[in-house]
Structure 1
Amino acid sequence: FCPPPPRPAFNKPAAALCLCLSLVARHMVGIYHQNIKPLHHPHGPPLSHSSGVRARQEQVPFVLVEDDAFFEESIAPLLGKHVTLSSVSDATTLTSGAADAPGLTGKASRGRPEAGAPSWKGEAPRRISKLSASAAVVPLAEVEAGSCGSKAAACSRLSRLAVDSKGNSGSEFAAPPGVVLPFGTMELALEAGGHASAFRDLLSQLDDMLREPEDDPRNARLARLCEEVQGLILNSSKLPDEVIKALQDSLPADSPVIARSSANVEDLAGLSGAGLYDSIPGIDPSSATSLQRGIALVWASLFSRRAVLSRGAGGIPSQAAAMAVLLQPQLCPDLSFVLHTAHPVTRDAGVMWAEVAPGQGEILATGSRGAAWRMEIGKAGDTLRMLSFANFSTAWLVARGTGKGGVATLAPTTVDYSSQALSGSEEARAQLSRRLLGVGAALEAEMGGAQDVEGCIAAGQLYIVQTRPQP
């Protein structure tokens, strides 16, 4: 990623077009400068789902260029010149223009209000005050957003809706069970080892540093400080045995577990935080070491450099951020999907958009090269239009016991598309689109607005693992 120049004193709103050259850039929309608009480089990773969420949230165009010749012949000569970028659903143009030509101007928005989602208002999260099994392990059915985050609260609501959907053939779905370590658990785990004061001091330094003028030396010091905070969490936080035992008693012993972030600064109106915080799959629940490591990795992701910069761009201090951890059985899907209940490009509320891929859903969010099965599903008349067929060469599956501390990694497995029904059967595609339409419409009605839904198909059962207001 090309580092930004010093911030100019604009007399009027101005815009720059930024070429993103590396994977980390896909998370940096709007971070480096409020007027930078990113353009994706042809040799970078493909546009992912989380990139699209962040770009729509910031209300900036985000364009993928895969034609090397077009880049060399048409884009490279325009570097350093005034340009106009126009991107609509069926065409993108980039043309040179005069310095005073109207173009992309104005401050990047933090996002429009979305129905059914809480907003960031600066309230202090409700943190637990005692590191006991009864306080630190919250059943999913008892979760509240103020103490466990909006994501965990949405999953709690999903579990109730899943029960209510049983028997409704057009909209039935399942949701995985789980437990949550609420806000304050990380801080108490650090305090138990005598590291609470050092942790608070590091967060204070982070917030002070974000107020400094932005330059290369400051950015380097910020990166080192973020690494120090993360290292403290990973090496010095320890949950007591009674909390680990309560987690093990609450989770299935015969299934790997996924630890998911549920921060007070994600899944909010105008602040989705998509892709900023980590989920750790393949944890062995019978291993205290594996559980501790997976949970600490989620906690530490709250203070990655890109997360700190993103919150800083929104005026949110690190000392105000809190992380809860949602632990659920790891599903082993045949297919994973992302469903937008309103068209994300045209904003047509009468058309849903789905992306479906084989295996784990990470392939839709990690910039893997290839295409998903992309569908436009008309709400009126249940119409299906296929936009692309999947051609990812691999699917991601959990490989247990391969990672540090007993935490598993996701391993690529070659996909045989001759055995994939969605590629060869029109009826299979129609059947899936009907299921997605029914569940999407039900969630949209329950949540009070268009939804960005993540789910999967495992052993024929449709699961919903997350829903958030659609940017």
Structure 2
Amino acid sequence: MTGFLRLVLAVLAFTTPAMARSQDSAREQAGDERISNEADFNRKARTETGGRFLGAPRVMFAIDRSKAPPRIHWIDTKRYLYHFSYLQARYLTLADADAFIDANYSKPDRRFVLGAVVRYPLIARYGVEMWEGDKVEPELLAAMMATLQAGFHAPLTFKPNSTQQLEAARAAGLPVIGIDEAYGAREQLVLNRGRAVGRLVLVADGAEDDLLPGDIALLKAMPIRLPPVAGILSSTFTTPINHVSLLAKTWGIPNAYRAEADRLWAGLAGKQVVLDTRGASVTLRPATAAEVRAAEQSRAVRRIRAPRADLTYSGLPALAEQDSGWASRTGAKAANLGEVARLAMKRSELDFVVPPGFSIPFAFYERFVVANGLAPAIEAITRDGRRNDPAWRRDALAALRARFAAGTIPPGDLDAIVARRRALLGDKALFVRSSTNAEDLPGFNGAGLYDTVPNVVEEAALAAAVKTVWGSLWNERAFAARERAGIDHLAVRAAVLMQAGIDADAAGVMTTIDPFDEQADERRIFIAAKRGIGIRVVEGRKIAEQLIYRPELDSIQVLTRSQDDVMLHFAPGGGVEEVRIDPNRAVLSDDLVRRLGTIGGAIQRAFGSRPQDIEWLVVGDRIMIVQSRDYVRG
């Protein structure tokens, strides 16, 4: 880093919040809050080379209603594909994508109003468009148009993209531009060119999450979000502004609108078809057997392989006995944590610990499955063609988990587990955690798929907790995620990590890379923190305290303070309970932030300098690390 760049970063890092807000405001007022002429518009505009916006330049906008008066952000649409990406890059939102979408579409109290200004070549006019699924009140629509007009150089007219938006515009007394007027009458429109072979699924409202990677989704209305699919066909006229259309470009899949597609091709639903959007028209036809085989082989090439589980090892190793090479015996989570425990012992000056614990290896899971006759039931589900039927799959997996819960751990294994717990952990409360061979894989993170049972106290509850974790291998969300990734379910096994439960004063997540700017040259540590145990942080309930620490400059930037008025503590008899707290206090001191940053850097170096996603907790001034996995880049 040059001396000049270091100086610039230092000035930025040590700028007071008031100065930063003033400087940001000046920059935004000068560049983002007004489009003063056509040249300003052209500098920010993206012009599509195909689809409905062919030759129609557009500039996205976000109106921040938390300001008085509301502030316009005219987004450089050549650089940013999404409103969310721009707002996140400016630290104007720190929510994840799902939370941001839920809070800022179809909500009267939304912070941001999102849309785009489009220049229509056919009529030489500017129009304002919103995503067609965004329900907007007349008052909000009128206020939006007034705010935009005050910051734009030419007359603006609203162009509704749904019946609800048209009715709201009429109620607000706003003139509108019709779809035929703006774009000309269209029976079909290619939004992204391509060809795909897959099962045609007529998607009911709210059923998008049940789609599989090999499906071609036939949509009556474009949803806010969609899992990866092979192709998209919509019977509702849509726009590249919506998230799904942009994702289709990212995935490189065909995406098209065809009037009455749901009626024209309803007879092909559930069958293997070919969707082709490479020509001037949209075609859909039944696939040949050879085409289906070729598509399956192509998808099989991209399948993710679960590492082989060692079913011969039957020890109950303490965390301190393990390192990252133990993943085949005890799973990546436990093995990585063992590596971190070794680092803590070797580098005492880092001043952190890993709560003690031990692993129940894959071999114990295998013996339980065999002893309770579960293997045939598992294989039957994985081989049954109905596993792609969400309702059937949901019921079948629930029945399988019930058999896990009702099963009996072989007496010798249970006695060994209880004895190891007594010898290593005494009567301490436990966190009983999953550690499978189907998580923390290249291309498949697996975070949040499997269950953790907190604060297990009584020995009678221990066996039930272990069976719950084993059974969570067959949660619907885990099964669906593996199905989408092409992971062989029959190769997957569950180990268990038994770890001393810590009733933390504060807990959270730390990444050794800035998730809002992954390409940043300088080192940054991102920290999210809440008071109490860490479940509420990783579940994303309410806003956490969020900070950026720059080690080279020793600067701490507070992005948000925690807004959570509840903390979780251990309940006396086991489990957890909620305790009301004052949400306006800082969670972490500057000293704790700096210490966490130093520990995070050391853990990253221990894992080959790969950026890490680390879970931590604090009791008093003691820092404890409870998980580390490779950070997954966006």
TM-score, normalised relative to structure 1: 0.71
- Determine the structure 2 residue equivalent to 1:203: 378
Q: Which amino acid aligns with 1:355?
A: A
- Determine the structure 2 residue equivalent to 1:262: 435
- For 1:102 and 1:363, locate their aligned partners in 2 and report how far apart those are by CA, in whole Å: 33
Work out whether residues 340 and 453 of structure 1, in 8 Å CA contact, stay in contact via their aligned partners in 2.
yes
Please report how far the alpha carbon of residue 97 of structure 1 lies from its aligned counterpart in structure 2 after TM superposition.
2.8
- For 2:467 and 2:478, locate their aligned partners in 1 and report how far apart those are by CA, in whole Å: 16
- Determine the structure 2 residue equivalent to 1:156: 338
- Determine the structure 1 residue equivalent to 2:355: 176
Is 1:444 aligned to residue 604 of structure 2?
yes
Identify which of 186, 189, 195 aligns with 2:368: 189
Is 1:242 aligned to residue 415 of structure 2?
yes
- For 1:400 and 1:187, locate their aligned partners in 2 and report how far apart those are by CA, in whole Å: 34
- Determine the structure 2 residue equivalent to 1:128: 312
User: CA separation of 1:106/1:206 partners in 2, compared to 1, >3 Å: closer, same or farther?
Assistant: farther
- For 1:98 and 1:460, locate their aligned partners in 2 and report how far apart those are by CA, in whole Å: 51
Query: How many pairs are equivalent?
Result: 370
- For 2:341 and 2:583, locate their aligned partners in 1 and report how far apart those are by CA, in whole Å: 33
What's the C-alpha RMSD, in Å, of the aligned pairs?
3.4
User: CA separation of 1:84/1:244 partners in 2, compared to 1, >3 Å: closer, same or farther?
Assistant: closer
User: CA separation of 1:416/1:336 partners in 2, compared to 1, >3 Å: closer, same or farther?
Assistant: same
- For 2:318 and 2:337, locate their aligned partners in 1 and report how far apart those are by CA, in whole Å: 11
Identify which of 98, 101, 108 aligns with 1:69: 108
User: CA separation of 1:325/1:447 partners in 2, compared to 1, >3 Å: closer, same or farther?
Assistant: same
Work out whether residues 506 and 533 of structure 2, in 8 Å CA contact, stay in contact via their aligned partners in 1.
yes
Is 1:328 aligned to residue 507 of structure 2?
no
Is 1:431 aligned to residue 586 of structure 2?
no
- For 1:159 and 1:378, locate their aligned partners in 2 and report how far apart those are by CA, in whole Å: 25
Structure 1 gaps of 5+ residues are 1-11, 14-36, 40-48, 56-60, 86-95, 110-118, 130-134, 402-407
> In the TM superposition, what whole-angstrom CA distance separates every residue of 1:289-308 from its partner, at most 9, and x where no partner exists?
21101111111111011110
- For 1:259 and 1:84, locate their aligned partners in 2 and report how far apart those are by CA, in whole Å: 36
- For 1:238 and 1:82, locate their aligned partners in 2 and report how far apart those are by CA, in whole Å: 48
- Determine the structure 1 residue equivalent to 2:445: 272
User: CA separation of 1:159/1:102 partners in 2, compared to 1, >3 Å: closer, same or farther?
Assistant: closer
- Determine the structure 1 residue equivalent to 2:88: none
Map 1:329-408 onto structure 2 (within 5 A): 329-347=500-518, 348=520, 350-368=523-541, 370-401=542-573, 408=574
User: CA separation of 1:272/1:122 partners in 2, compared to 1, >3 Å: closer, same or farther?
Assistant: closer
- Determine the structure 2 residue equivalent to 1:226: 397
Is 1:317 aligned to residue 488 of structure 2?
yes
Work out whether residues 305 and 488 of structure 2, in 8 Å CA contact, stay in contact via their aligned partners in 1.
no
Q: Secondary structure at the match of 1:269?
A: coil
- For 1:99 and 1:257, locate their aligned partners in 2 and report how far apart those are by CA, in whole Å: 48
- For 2:447 and 2:516, locate their aligned partners in 1 and report how far apart those are by CA, in whole Å: 18
> In the TM superposition, what whole-angstrom CA distance separates every residue of 1:383-421 from its partner, at most 9, and x where no partner exists?
1110111120100111143xxxxxx32211111357x4x
Q: Which protein has the larger Cα radius of gyration, Structure 1 or Structure 2?
A: 2
- Determine the structure 1 residue equivalent to 2:321: 142
- For 1:160 and 1:317, locate their aligned partners in 2 and report how far apart those are by CA, in whole Å: 33
Please report how far the alpha carbon of residue 311 of structure 1 lies from its aligned counterpart in structure 2 after TM superposition.
0.5
Work out whether residues 83 and 97 of structure 1, in 8 Å CA contact, stay in contact via their aligned partners in 2.
no
Is 1:458 aligned to residue 619 of structure 2?
yes
Q: Secondary structure at the match of 2:578?
A: strand
Please report how far the alpha carbon of residue 120 of structure 1 lies from its aligned counterpart in structure 2 after TM superposition.
5.2
User: CA separation of 1:69/1:231 partners in 2, compared to 1, >3 Å: closer, same or farther?
Assistant: same
- For 1:207 and 1:416, locate their aligned partners in 2 and report how far apart those are by CA, in whole Å: 49
User: CA separation of 1:83/1:438 partners in 2, compared to 1, >3 Å: closer, same or farther?
Assistant: same
User: CA separation of 1:346/1:236 partners in 2, compared to 1, >3 Å: closer, same or farther?
Assistant: same
- For 2:390 and 2:583, locate their aligned partners in 1 and report how far apart those are by CA, in whole Å: 45
- For 2:459 and 2:102, locate their aligned partners in 1 and report how far apart those are by CA, in whole Å: 46
Is 1:103 aligned to residue 282 of structure 2?
no
User: CA separation of 1:394/1:213 partners in 2, compared to 1, >3 Å: closer, same or farther?
Assistant: closer
Work out whether residues 338 and 454 of structure 1, in 8 Å CA contact, stay in contact via their aligned partners in 2.
yes
Work out whether residues 282 and 400 of structure 1, in 8 Å CA contact, stay in contact via their aligned partners in 2.
no
Is 1:412 aligned to residue 594 of structure 2?
no
- For 2:224 and 2:576, locate their aligned partners in 1 and report how far apart those are by CA, in whole Å: 41
- For 1:399 and 1:165, locate their aligned partners in 2 and report how far apart those are by CA, in whole Å: 34
- For 1:84 and 1:140, locate their aligned partners in 2 and report how far apart those are by CA, in whole Å: 43
Work out whether residues 304 and 486 of structure 2, in 8 Å CA contact, stay in contact via their aligned partners in 1.
no
Q: Secondary structure at the match of 2:626?
A: strand
> In the TM superposition, what whole-angstrom CA distance separates every residue of 1:357-395 from its partner, at most 9, and x where no partner exists?
000000112242x22111011132111110111120100
- For 2:221 and 2:429, locate their aligned partners in 1 and report how far apart those are by CA, in whole Å: 53
User: CA separation of 1:314/1:107 partners in 2, compared to 1, >3 Å: closer, same or farther?
Assistant: farther
Q: Which amino acid aligns with 2:624?
A: Y
- For 1:161 and 1:180, locate their aligned partners in 2 and report how far apart those are by CA, in whole Å: 18
Q: Secondary structure at the match of 2:248?
A: coil
Higher RCO structure, 1 or 2 (CA under 8 Å, sep 6+): 1
Work out whether residues 136 and 185 of structure 1, in 8 Å CA contact, stay in contact via their aligned partners in 2.
no
- For 1:326 and 1:315, locate their aligned partners in 2 and report how far apart those are by CA, in whole Å: 26
Higher deviation after alignment, 297-306 or 72-81:
72-81
Please report how far the alpha carbon of residue 175 of structure 1 lies from its aligned counterpart in structure 2 after TM superposition.
0.7
Is 1:305 aligned to residue 476 of structure 2?
yes
User: CA separation of 1:334/1:98 partners in 2, compared to 1, >3 Å: closer, same or farther?
Assistant: closer
Q: Which amino acid aligns with 1:442?
A: A
- For 1:120 and 1:98, locate their aligned partners in 2 and report how far apart those are by CA, in whole Å: 31
> In the TM superposition, what whole-angstrom CA distance separates every residue of 1:411-438 from its partner, at most 9, and x where no partner exists?
11111357x4x26xxxx63212211211
Q: Sequence identity of aligned pairs in percent? A: 23
Q: Which amino acid aligns with 1:439?
A: I
> In the TM superposition, what whole-angstrom CA distance separates every residue of 1:325-357 from its partner, at most 9, and x where no partner exists?
010100111110200110112103622211010
User: CA separation of 1:400/1:226 partners in 2, compared to 1, >3 Å: closer, same or farther?
Assistant: farther
Q: Secondary structure at the match of 2:434?
A: strand
Map 1:212-223 onto structure 2 (within 5 A): 212=386, 214=388, 218-223=389-394
Work out whether residues 306 and 492 of structure 2, in 8 Å CA contact, stay in contact via their aligned partners in 1.
no
- Determine the structure 1 residue equivalent to 2:628: 467
Work out whether residues 82 and 97 of structure 1, in 8 Å CA contact, stay in contact via their aligned partners in 2.
no
Work out whether residues 306 and 437 of structure 2, in 8 Å CA contact, stay in contact via their aligned partners in 1.
no
Q: Secondary structure at the match of 2:439?
A: coil
Q: Which amino acid aligns with 1:394?
A: V
